[in-house]
Amino acid sequence: MSDAKTWFERGLALQAEGRLAEAVAAYDRAHRLAPENAVVLHNRGLAHQALKRHADAVADFKRAIALAPRLADAHYNLGNALVDLGRRAEAAAVFRKAAELKPDFVAAWHNLGDSLQATGDLDGALVAYRRELQLDPTAFARVVNSLAAHAHGMLSLDFQALRRRLTS
């Protein structure tokens, strides 16, 4: 195998099989052959993330974004890696960028809401969750679970008031 596409496809196959360390090695080869390929870096970042190598994942996602600034998935996955590192404020900024680049990206809106809520910005979180519900009306239970998980000592939620606030 000598071309980047072949190594990239090998990385995808290995990743799909759960052979993550081998997938990273295949993506390394693809990256050496095609250093300007943002998708290779993005996928290597996903493999690093699955291996819990969050700092390596952050580095790959940032490099992918530098090469392809409009790659919404790279912003989204960078946000996830930052969350795993406990860097919620930074994560919120990149989730916001992912949602800006791809306005119908439901998961980006949800994770933006979670990150804003975790940093104490409940009003901002509700705006993000409201957008999520506009895009996916079936997401109400997921939003309520997120709000309850981050309730910071709140003993109960007024679900009817919450539904009105989120859907107004």
**Number of domains observed in the structure of the chain:** 2
Contact 49, 81 (CB under 8 A): yes
**Domain range for 48:** 1-69
Give me the half-sphere count of Cα atoms (radius 13 Å) on the Cβ side of residue 90.
13
Q: Which domain CATH number covers 39?
A: 1.25.40.10
**Reported pTM:** 0.88
Q: How far is CA 130 from CA 11, 102, 166, in A?
A: 38, 16, 5
70/52 Cα distance (integer angstroms): 25
Mean pLDDT of successive 10-residue segments in the chain (168 residues)?
88 98 98 97 98 98 98 98 97 98 98 95 93 94 85 51 66
